[in-house]
Amino acid sequence: MLWSMPFSHLHSLESDVFNMKNRLAISTSVLALVVALACNSQTIEYTSYGDALTLSDTTLVSQILAAPDSYIGERVLITGTIVEVCEMKGCWLEVASDAEFEKIRVKVDDGVIVFPLSARGHTAIVEGVVELLELTEEQAIEQAKHHAEEQGVEFDPSTVTGPQTSYQIRGLGALIAE
């Protein structure tokens, strides 16, 4: 018992140093993890809809709207704030342009992609094909009625004054920021 005391004391000292080193290592690791998580929380998380995006270069919405005919049939990648979403079926959304007072509609096949109404105000990256829509007056009235129904607002016939030509993007895939 007498001789064992110094050894046990030595063991205790070694053990303390070992524990201290361990604690230091653990503390450093935890700190690194917290810093990593904190940094990670700064990154934007996206929810994916439809097909995976294949393009990497974005086209400005203002560029498309400035010369839409030159983009018809072209696959483009756009980005911007979502300013409206189809309330009923989530089958379209509108993305704000980089230029003032401009936006472009992204239409997807009903039920294939469903955009949540809560996406309004979030940033979207959308890939799709630019389309030309040529509507007769009757078709334009029908479409305006349909959109009014979807948004739960009253249809105003004065908004349609004749045949309409518009451009939209047939959406294939999208990423929406959380």
Partner 1 sequence: MSTKKKFKWRKWNNIIHRDLGYICVGLTVIYAVSGVAVNHVADWNPNYRVQTVETSVPAGLLGDPSSPATIQDILTAIAVNGTPRATFRPDLETLQIFVDDGTTVYVNLETGAVLSEMVRDRRILREANFLHLNHPKKLWTYFADAYAVALALLAVTGVFVLKGKKGITGRGAWLTGAGVVIPVVFLWLYL
Interaction of residue 118 with partner 1, rule CB under 8 A? yes
# chain residues binding partner 1, by CB under 8 A: 21
Q: Token digits for 92?
A: 């379209």
- Residue number, 16 or 172, with CB nearest to partner 1: 172
d(CA 43, CA 40): 5
| 166 closest CA partner among 112, 83, 90, 94 | 94
Distances in Å between the Cα of 132 and the Cα atoms of 40, 129, 166 are 41, 10, 6
User: Least separation, in Å, of the C-beta of 112 and partner 1?
Assistant: 9
Interaction of residue 100 with partner 1, rule CB under 8 A? yes
Stretch that binds partner 1, among 26-34, 61-69, 112-120, 164-172 (CB under 8 A): 112-120
Contact pick of 120, 135, 139, 147 for partner 1 (by CB under 8 A): 120
Torsion region of 142: left, alpha or beta (phi above 0 gives left; psi -120 to 50 gives alpha): alpha
- Residue number, 114 or 133, with CB nearest to partner 1: 114
Stretch that binds partner 1, among 24-32, 51-59, 69-77, 84-92 (CB under 8 A): 84-92
Interaction of residue 88 with partner 1, rule CB under 8 A? yes
Interaction of residue 87 with partner 1, rule CB under 8 A? yes
Distances in Å between the Cα of 1 and the Cα atoms of 4, 53, 71 are 5, 74, 91
Q: Token digits for 63?
A: 């560029």
Contact pick of 64, 77, 96, 172 for partner 1 (by CB under 8 A): 96
